[in-house]
Amino acid sequence: MTMRLIILGPPGAGKGTQAARIAEHFGIPPISTGDIFRANIKNETPLGLEVKSILAAGGYVSDDITNAIVESRLAEADCEPGFLLDGYPRTLGQVDALDEMLAKGDRPLERVLELVVPDDAVVARLLKRAEIEGRADDTEEVIRERMAIYHRETRPLSEAYAERGLLVAVDGEGSMDEVFDRIVRALS
Ligand code: ADP
């Protein structure tokens, strides 16, 4: 059995936390483009130097760069049983690019999971995370910018996947365990 999944949701919806647990549950790798970019920034790779200021300002890295990173990651052997994409795709252009990548390998997406959390709740969570983790893009101004970009660029993705009958929406409010249980139930 394969499990090819995407997890969608606003910044601060708890995608990363849930992605790790879902991936473990199904025995597939969680692939977070945000984590890949942050690791490159930390290691000062050419890619990291290129995207550092974009991430700090809350903008999106270009589709060309992002698509290329995901394509090479999906070619790795651990993606054979499936994968969980977290933070990708984020634009309709990335949706098309992903479709093409997956069509080449004849490995269609199985589900798109959307974590639904109201704006007020995610802003509060991000501000709290800022105190704990000190991420460069968790200041109030940058959070507002990320939310605006999310609504403009990424919200339309849930509609696109709903039209294809792939979308599963799950209430993302509540404890980590509650949300995880809902997700597992929704996916089985
Ligand atoms: P969050 O979901 O909390 O915004 P992520 O770790 O998913 O955090 O992403 C952090 C940043 O990395 C984004 O604000 C953006 O700058 C960049 N990024 C991540 N994924 C993508 C993507 N698919 N396309 C463009 N930029 C991306």
Give the model confidence (pLDDT) of 156-168 as tens digits.
999 999 999 999 9
C-alpha–C-alpha distance, residues 83 and 105, integer Å = 14
Domains belonging to the chain, first-starting first, are 3-187 (3.40.50.300)
Reduced to 3 states, what is the DSSP secondary structure of residue 86?
Answer: strand
Q: Which two tokens stand for residue 148?
A: 């605006």
Q: What is the pTM of this model?
A: 0.92
Annotated binding site for AMP: which residue ranges?
33, 38, 59-61, 87-90, 94, 135, 146
Q: Does 111 score more than 90 pLDDT?
A: yes
Phi and psi angles of residue 136, each rounded to the nearest 5 degrees, phi first: -60, -25
- For the CA of 87, the closest atom of ligand 1 is 7
First and final C-alpha spacing in the chain: 13
Query: Omega before 89 cis (within 30°)?
Result: yes
Quickly tell me which residue has 């983790």 as its tokens: 133
Q: Can you give the pLDDT at residue 24?
A: 97
Q: Is the CB of 37 under 6 A from ligand 1?
A: yes
Distance between Cα 33 and ligand 1 center (Å) = 6
Q: Does 141 score more than 90 pLDDT?
A: no
